[in-house]
Chains A and B, each alone.
Chain A
Amino acid sequence: MNPATATFFVLYGLIAIAYVVISIVFFYHIGRYSYLGDASKRIFLLYTMFGVSIITVTFIFMILNHIVS
């Protein structure tokens, strides 16, 4: 793998890991302070799905970009 390509992938991997770490903090917070029946779980699910979609789409785009080029 080209060093420049590897740098981009590693960089984005680190950003994704940071996102996961922040999400764990949110998860703890919601688990600790949410009330029964409130919308916290649904919002957190939405947040997680959005984040995972963005990470996946970006990685797929970067891989396709290299394959096509």
Chain B
Amino acid sequence: MPPVRFQNIPQAVFPNQRNDEKIFVFSRRHLVDYFFYIVLLSVLGLLPLVALPFIITGAIGIAFFDPVYERDFFALIIGSYYLLLAVVFLASWINYYYNAIIVTDERVVDIYQAGLFNREVNELVYEQIEDVSFKIKGFLNTMFHAGDVEIQTAGSERKFVIKRVSHPDVTVEIILELAAQAKRGVNMAERVPDLATIGVINGQLVGRGWKGPPVMNLEKNLRSTTRRFAQVASEPTTLRERMDCWWRNHCYSMRATFGEQDETIMQSSKLKELPTETSEDEKTDDKMVDL
């Protein structure tokens, strides 16, 4: 049996990322931006618990209901209330979490998510960038070092504003440095910020010479995932296997957007040929799975 190979499992962090595109900054909005929702949802979540003793003792009640139906009624109301809170939580979380700024050696990608059905992705190549600045306003932003990054492009009156980014000052420096290198004609592959801090990944500063930041180690996550793919049956049965399959399909759908569809289809057909049970040789020899 030939070794199972998963060379084409995508390692891209965002759609349309080049295979060798280095990411220096990957910042979602700072948690400060979600602070209001955390407080609001916590307070709203505690409200029924505060009201519960009054409902149980009968201090709050509906006079024309039979006590049995009254309890049913309150269960229905409280249950629906919490379901509504869960929906509000996820909707607000998506609204917060899917905003990101990605700075690579080639471009700056600004992903703006407003609600569930409103998404805007702006890409700026460094040659377009005229001026970059940051703005830290307010108590919470100052305390947690979050701020807006503003990018002014050439030949356009439009200003790109990326809100509530962690370490906006470092982000601005990195963008300016990369833009300067691009304008000097440095190759994309050779562009690295000539700074002590060369990246901001998920709010963490990445110094020169440090080990790979978390987002650049996604391959590691995928390795553990793909190892499981190699071991599970082709037909998922457990919830975990189904989730894995969903994740794998998600990976492939992302890969398909990178313009290597033929390769993906080829790899998918290879995956279909996976044996349902791993042979003894493969079980003992982990190195056979080439990642």
Contact = CB atoms under 8 A, between A and B. Distances in A.
A26 B94 contact: yes
Interface string A2-41: 0011001001100110010010011001110111111111
Interface of A: 4-5, 8, 11-12, 15-16, 19, 22, 25-26, 29-31, 33-41, 43-44, 47, 50-51, 54-55, 57-58, 61-62, 65-66, 69
A16 B251 CA distance: 31
B69 interface: yes
Contacts of A26: 90-91, 94, 116
A12 B47 CA distance: 21
A51 B83 contact: yes
A58 B10 CA distance: 43
Interface residues of B, number: 44
Contacts of B71: 61, 65
Interface in B57-95: 66-69, 71-73, 75-76, 78-80, 82-83, 86-87, 89-91, 93-94
Interface stretch (B146-154, B168-176, B242-250, B263-271): B242-250
A43 B68 contact: no
Contacts of A25: 116
A37 B83 contact: no
Contact of B72 (A22, A51, A65): A65
B58 to A, nearest CB: 15
A46 B67 CA distance: 34
B182 interface: no
Interface stretch (B190-198, B215-223, B228-236, B277-285): B215-223
A15 B116 contact: no
Nearest to B119: A33
B116 A62 contact: no
B221 A47 contact: no
Given A43-B93, A57-B79, 4 more contacts: A33-B113, A35-B14, A40-B97, A51-B86
Contacts of A19: 83, 86-87
Contact of B69 (A8, A38, A61): A8
Given A36-B254, A37-B221, A31 B246 contact: yes
A69 B14 CA distance: 57
Nearest to B222: A36
Interface in B206-222: 214-215, 218, 221-222
A19 B79 CA distance: 11
Given A37-B218, A62-B75, A54 B82 contact: yes
Contacts of B108: none
